Structure 1
Amino acid sequence: MVWGPCVSVETKIRKIQRLLRHDSDLAWQVFTETYDRMILAWLEQAGVQSADALDIRQEVLTTVHSEIETFVDSGDETCFPRWLRRVTANRMRRLWASRDRRHDCALVADLSSIADQLEDHRSELSSRWDRQYESELVQQCLDALGDRFSKRNLDAFRRVVLCEEPQALVAEDLGMSLGGLRVAQHRIMRALRRNADATHCAIG
Structure 2
Amino acid sequence: MRSVAFSAIFLATGLGSALAADPTGDWRVADGVANIRVAECNGSMWGAVSWEKTPGGRDKNNPDVSKQSRPTLAMPILIDMKKKPAVDQWEGQVYNAKDGQMYSTTIKPVGSDQMEIQGCVLGFLCGGETWTRVSGPIPSSPTNSMAKGAPKGTGASPKSTGALPKSVQTATAPAAPKTTGAASPAAKPGQKQAAGQPPDIGDICLLPDIARFAH
TM-score normalised according to structure 2 size: 0.25
Name the one with the larger strand percent. 2
Name the one with the larger helix percent. 1
Kindly name which structure, 1 or 2, has the bigger radius of gyration based on alpha carbons: 1
